[in-house]
Structure 1
Amino acid sequence: MFTNIGLRAVLKVQASVLRESSAALCCAASVKPWTNRSSLLSGPKVRSGSFAVPQPVRHYARAAKKKKTGPESQLSDLPPTMLKMDYAAVPLAQTTDDLVKRLLSLELASHKEKLQLKQEQLIAKVQRDESDRSSEEVQVAILTARIRNYQEHLQKHHKDKANKRRMLMAIDRRKKILKHLRLIRYDAFEKVCEQLGITYTFPPEYYRRATRRWMAKKEFCIKVFKAVQKQKAEQRLKIKQSSGSTDTESAKTNAAEI
């Protein structure tokens, strides 16, 4: 008798455990795969005798950020295996092992050294002879390398006012040299612009800084000019009308005399 009562109690406990486990499995199956894992591990929450399914947490995939590709640098055409300018003419540097060549190449060179080498390449395109270092063509080449370097720097650091001022000063200096070179040696001027890729724009014949005071004065002068033209047109119309009336009166008097 006691054994039957014990068996019944054990069966009741097992049945209740099976019911709870089946309910938990049904709840977990109804939850979508993007549900938060912590909510599944904690099990279903019971509210007023029924199982409450937690809300799914959606993790949407984010698009990969595109890297901003700026304009191509003037130093990008320099190969990294090229030797530095100080070691290019040394014959021993050409016969050394690969490790030493790498140390002497542009791969580990600073930006200043690369810019110096680029400047020498631009000078070699326009100089008159090998010993020419002070002609107007060479000065234009040096200023061109500096201006392009300033432009690349300001695209990354647009609030650098000091370098912007230096760039504008270099542009003005190059304009003056090109203007003088165009007047005295036009063939050299064309060669410099073609070799260095410079687009020369002619300065305006008349230039005045557009300030608020000047704009207001110009607008007032235009209004005065229009008012004067309107008055002159009215005066011309009155003169025509008066001349027309005198002609008709003279015609009437001539007719009466006849």
Structure 2
Amino acid sequence: MLANIVLRTVLKSSAGILRESGAVCSALSAKPWTSNSALLGARVSCGSFAVLPPVRHYARAAKKRRAGSESQLSDLPPTMLKMDYAAVPLAQTTDDIVKRLLSLELANHSEKLRLKTEQLIAKVQRDENDRDSVEVRVAILTAKIRNFREHLQKHHKDKANKRRMLIAIDRRKKLLKNLRLVNYEAFEKVCEQLGITYTFPPEYYRRATRRWLAKKAFCIKVFNEVQKQKKEERLMMKESLASTDTEAAKTTAAGSL
């Protein structure tokens, strides 16, 4: 009987403790941003669970964009007329609204690029009707390469345009190499007018391994032996020719006697 009474009192006390802890947990969940430093700094246990203090998640710092190089189209003034209307005299005398419609202010990128290409061609072409010389092709490829480079600075994952840019660079290198061998003055003029820095291709380099060094030494040794044999053969041929000449001279002398 006494044991039953003790057991009831223990159960009542444990139930009261559980009620108080549940009230504390509910208060903490209702006010997660409470300013009580004691509750924030300590770990509060709700029954068999541990309630951690609230964590403040701050936003990440914004990434700084890379400052790209200046565009090749930046020197084109917006008041300049498009290429199709630049030679029309009526476009120069119209009102401001029509001029604005025909100017580069409302032109798309392809029209501006076309005008820039024509400007580069005018710098290096041989005469007014020159449209197929090496200098003109270099100017067209230069405008394309710079346009691809500006595009890849904004969209660096565009692999297709990167491949096209590398193909254009290789073509321009071949044209400049041939122009440098044929006409060096025109080559210097093209590089100066278009702002191209021509770099020589790297020299052939091969890593010197033991096998390569041994093979090279063996080849040099074989070459020297072959040259030595050829030299001996030439000396023997000279001696044989000299002996035949002396015998022929003796026979002619004997015949004359």
- Which residue type is aligned with residue 138 of structure 2? V
* Superposed counterparts of 1:230-245, under 5 Å: none
Q: Where does structure 1 differ by over 4 angstroms across 4 or more consecutive aligned residues?
A: 60-67
Q: Residue 189 in 1 paired to residue 187 in 2?
A: yes
Q: Residue 132 in 1 paired to residue 133 in 2?
A: no
Shift of 1:92: 0.7
Question: 1:207, 1:85 → 2: CA distance?
Answer: 49
Shift of 1:54: 4.8
Does the C-alpha gap of structure 1 residues 160 and 61 become closer, same or farther in structure 2, counting only changes over 3 Å? closer
Shift of 1:191: 0.3
Question: 1:54, 1:147 → 2: CA distance?
Answer: 61
Shift of 1:81: 0.8
SS in 1 for 2:80: coil
- Which residue type is aligned with residue 221 of structure 1? R
Question: 1:98, 1:65 → 2: CA distance?
Answer: 42
Deviation digits for residues 130-173 of structure 1 (CA, Å, limit 9, x no counterpart)? 11101110000000000011111111111111111111111111
- Which residue type is aligned with residue 190 of structure 1? E
Which residue is 1:55 aligned to?
35
Q: TM-score, normalised by structure 2?
A: 0.57
Which residue is 1:201 aligned to?
199
* Superposed counterparts of 1:31-70, under 5 Å: 54-55=34-35, 68-70=66-68
Does the C-alpha gap of structure 1 residues 157 and 90 become closer, same or farther in structure 2, counting only changes over 3 Å? same
Shift of 1:181: 0.6
SS in 1 for 2:175: helix
Which residue is 2:211 aligned to?
221
Q: Residue 169 in 1 paired to residue 149 in 2?
A: no
Say how many residue pairs are matched: 166
Shift of 1:66: 5.2
Question: 1:126, 1:221 → 2: CA distance?
Answer: 51
Does the C-alpha gap of structure 1 residues 63 and 207 become closer, same or farther in structure 2, counting only changes over 3 Å? closer
Which runs of 5 or more residues in structure 1 are unaligned?
Answer: 1-46, 48-52, 209-214, 229-258
Which residue is 2:153 aligned to?
155
Shift of 1:119: 0.2
Question: 2:171, 2:65 → 1: CA distance?
Answer: 36
- Which residue type is aligned with residue 166 of structure 2? L
Which residue is 2:76 aligned to?
78
Shift of 1:192: 0.2
Shift of 1:220: 4.8
Does the C-alpha gap of structure 1 residues 147 and 61 become closer, same or farther in structure 2, counting only changes over 3 Å? closer
